[in-house]
Amino acid sequence: MIFKIITLGLMATFYVCYFAKMISQKKHGISTDQLGKGKTGFVKVIEMTLKLSTYVLPIIQLISILWYIGTAHIALRIIGCAITAVGVLAFIMSVAQMKDNWRAGVQREDKTNLVTTGIYSISRNPAFLGFDLMYIGILFTFFNWYLCFATSFVLVFFHLQIVNVEEEFLIEAFGEEYVQYKKKVCRYLGRKL
């Protein structure tokens, strides 16, 4: 029961942060959700699939949490909760540090700044890392094969979004500044020597 309470609390914290940021930006005339908007071809497929799957996965997670009857080892469940907490923290830090530059998806017309300090000095994509860690942590804590498949599917599409959409956009938008940043900081976690 304690794992359910902790995980539901972490998920609630994550989604309150996510939607509060969207509402705050909307009040400033910023459209945060750019997934699929004005896109075509492969990019549109990636973004729309990602958008849909990030709506479906939390439903599968909630079902897995509320009706969990598995027998995962206690150590795996503790590790899962810790990973989830780190993911939520990474997401909150990334959104706070991005300020009004944060978006879900990219829009070429939006003028934003490249953020490279704070958590962005050790991860080029800490918001994605936050999502990934939260999803992996929940999977470890409430493992079942449906959740495993759904989590894996979403993680693949997050990666495709980064590699095929975000990074190309950032190179176009920030040129050499982003190229130099990319040489110093890893995509998910760590600094390059």
pLDDT tens for the chain, 193 residues: list them.
Answer: 899 999 999 999 999 998 888 888 788 776 766 666 777 788 889 888 988 999 999 999 999 999 987 777 899 999 999 999 999 999 999 999 987 766 666 556 667 778 899 999 999 999 999 999 999 999 999 999 999 999 999 999 999 999 988 898 888 888 999 999 999 999 999 988 7
Task: Note the helical H segments in the chain.
Answer: 2-27, 41-66, 74-98, 126-141, 145-161, 167-174, 176-184
According to DSSP, the residues that pair with 185 across neighbouring strands are: 191
- Tokens at residue 31, please? 């459209």
User: In a 3-state reduction of DSSP, which class is residue 185?
Assistant: strand
Which one-letter DSSP state was computed for residue 84? H
Residues 6+ positions from 28 with CB-CB distance below 8 Å: 100
pLDDT of res. 34: 67
